[in-house]
Amino acid sequence: MENGRTAEFLKGLFIGGLIGGAIGLLYAPKSGKETREDIEKKTDELLARAKEEYEVALEKTKKSYEAAIERLKELEVTAKKKVEEVEEKVEELTEKGKETVEESKGRLKRALEAGVGAFKEEKEEKGKKGRKKAD
């Protein structure tokens, strides 16, 4: 942040100096031709410096853009890895859930079979007692 402020200050100082120089030339005790030549010279210098500043800013922007693209690519790779990890966990949990359901079905089936068997035994037992009483 401080580097940005310093750079802005220096740019302002430079531009102010150029403007001050141009104004000084306009009010200098020189002939019109000399003054016009000086103004043209200073204008060319100003344009050259402006072009340099533009090139520097363009290069910085390009580097920032490339860095942002690179970071986005890294984030994309990281996101894909995370998605794959989540998919694996979901598959793992799904398999565990299926196993648990199968185990529960097996226990329920055995419990029902045991209950039906106990019911049949009880029914047979009552049937035998009822026949004995009838005899």
Q: What is the pLDDT of residue 131?
A: 67
52 near 61, Cβ under 8 Å? no
pLDDT at 106: 86
Predicted pLDDT of residue 8: 81
pLDDT tens digits, residue range 23-43? 776 776 667 777 778 778 888
Q: Which residues of 97-114 are buried (b: 16+ CB within 10 A; e: fewer)?
A: eeeeeeeeeeeeeeeeee
Which pLDDT score is estimated for 77? 95
**What's the token pair of residue 109?**
């089936």
pLDDT at 91: 93
- pLDDT block averages, 10 residues each, the chain of length 135: 71 80 71 78 87 89 94 96 94 90 88 86 76 64
Q: Would you state the pLDDT for residue 30?
A: 65
Question: What's the confidence (pLDDT) of residue 1?
Answer: 47
pLDDT of residue 126: 76
Q: Residue 42: what pLDDT?
A: 83
Which residues have C-beta within 8 Å of that of residue 13, sequence separation ≥ 6? none
Per-residue pLDDT, 111: 87
